[in-house]
Amino acid sequence: MSTVQMLNAQFGIDGHLSFNEDASGLIIAMIENSSAKAALCLQGGHLMTWQPVDQSVPVVWLSRDAKVAAGKSIRGGAPVCWPWFGAHASESSFPGHGFARTVPWRLLETGVEPGGATRLRLRLENSEKTLAQWPHACQLDLNIYVGETLRMELVTENTGSEAFVIGEALHTYFQIGDIGAVRVSGLEGCEYWDKVGGSNLRRQTGSIAFAEETDRVYINTAAECVIEDERLKRRIHVSKSGSQSTVVWTPWVEKAEKMGDMGQPDGWREMVCVESANALENLVTVAPGTCHSLVVEYRAVNIA
């Protein structure tokens, strides 16, 4: 039996979940139930897209030029950044945003929730490579619930006898009508590190509108954010717990061109990242024998 056949036999659910092999050989879980459809790459535990049935376009964006390849992160979806966010504090050869998004994860369990959402539980596979970069006794699980809302729980368990410190994010790309016509609210009054043109601490006044590259780490905030989208006539609600940082990012023209996988000619205009994170001064210490959970829930509401 091939891996796909085994996964379908063990974890497939009629009317909810099946598995395919991508041209690259990576396995994709295809989820489709009466509330939504979604896809998830087992490498990286990477939710690639999510579209509730009452939405004409996805809520979680996947670049049309996204490449699915072994050891590479996929452009779009909800990359899992862990156990550090951004550059590693001391080792420049270690991957940006950590290794979790580019290594294999194992499916532990699938099922259907009482309300009809499809549930998947995955665990990062530790290897010599991950342990070389992160020599701690720990287990990282991701629970995903695909329904009319999308819920993701990233659970870090310290299985050893010494505390460790993590940075992390669910680095979600949201699909929007046009970056020039959306506003993100919920962060009014918050302090943020502005990563464009140096690193300066500023304070947000009003909601956020976009007219240039924006790369900000809002700190000490657990607030719900709302992406107000005039063009697609919807609001996306991003709520979270166990997260004290929110990263808001759009690359704009030049950076998007350099990245090369944002979707030609201007796919970058159709996305904005609102990332639920623990970064910079909000790193998390996980004590021995304890768990830390970063939980997000997304919901799209149509507006007249």
Active site residues: 171, 275
Name the minimum Å distance from CB 189 to ligand BG6: 21
Q: Is residue 260 within the footprint of ligand BG6 (CB under 6 A)?
A: no
Rg (CA), the chain: 19
Q: How far is the CB of 192 from ligand BG6 (least distance, A)?
A: 11
Nearer to ligand BG6, 58 or 251 (CB): 251
Q: Name the minimum Å distance from CB 175 to ligand BG6.
A: 17
Shortest distance, CB of residue 195 to ligand BG6, whole angstroms?
6
Q: Which is nearer to ligand BG6, 238 or 247 (CB)?
A: 247
Query: Cβ closer to ligand BG6: 194 or 297?
Result: 194
Establish if 88 lies at the interface with ligand BG6 (CB under 6 A).
Answer: no
Query: From CA 148, how far away is CA 248, in angstroms rounded?
Result: 24
Name 5's Cβ contacts closer than 8 Å, sequence gap at least 6: none
Which residues, including other chains, have CB under 8 Å from residue 131's CB and lie 6 or more apart? none
Residues in contact with 31: Cβ distance below 8 Å, sequence separation at least 6, in sequence order: 16, 17, 37, 38, 39, 40, 118, 120, 146
Q: Residues 96, 115, 206, 260: which binds ligand BG6 (CB under 6 A)?
A: 96
Q: Which is nearer to ligand BG6, 81 or 117 (CB)?
A: 81
Residue 97 is a binding residue for ligand BG6 (CB under 6 A): yes
171 forms part of the interface with ligand BG6 (CB under 6 A) = yes
Among 275, 276, 286, 296, contact with ligand BG6 (rule: CB under 6 A): 275
CB 67: neighbour CB atoms within 10 A? 12
What are the backbone dihedrals phi and psi of residue 190, each rounded to the nearest 5 degrees, phi first? -80, 150
Give whole-number Cα distances, 77 to 132, 143, 175, in Å: 27, 15, 10
| Window 118-157: residues binding ligand BG6 (CB under 6 A) | none
CA angle in degrees (0–180, nearest 5) for 132-136-141:
100
The residue among 110 and 250 lying less far from ligand BG6, judged by its C-beta, is: 250
Stated as kind and residue range, the H or E segment containing 254 is helix 252-259
User: Shortest Cβ distance from residue 112 to ligand BG6 (Å)?
Assistant: 32
Using rule CB under 6 A, residue 215 touches ligand BG6: yes
Asked if residue 47 lies in contact with residue 61, where contact means CB atoms within 8 angstroms, the answer is: no
Residue number, 16 or 168, with CB nearest to ligand BG6: 168
Residue 229 binding ligand BG6, by CB under 6 A: no
Residues 6+ apart with CB under 8 A from 10: none
Is 84 a binding residue for ligand BG6 by CB under 6 A? The answer is: no
Cβ(179)–Cβ(208) below 8 Å: no
State the residues that interact with ligand BG6 by CB under 6 A. 73, 96-97, 171, 195, 215, 247, 249, 275
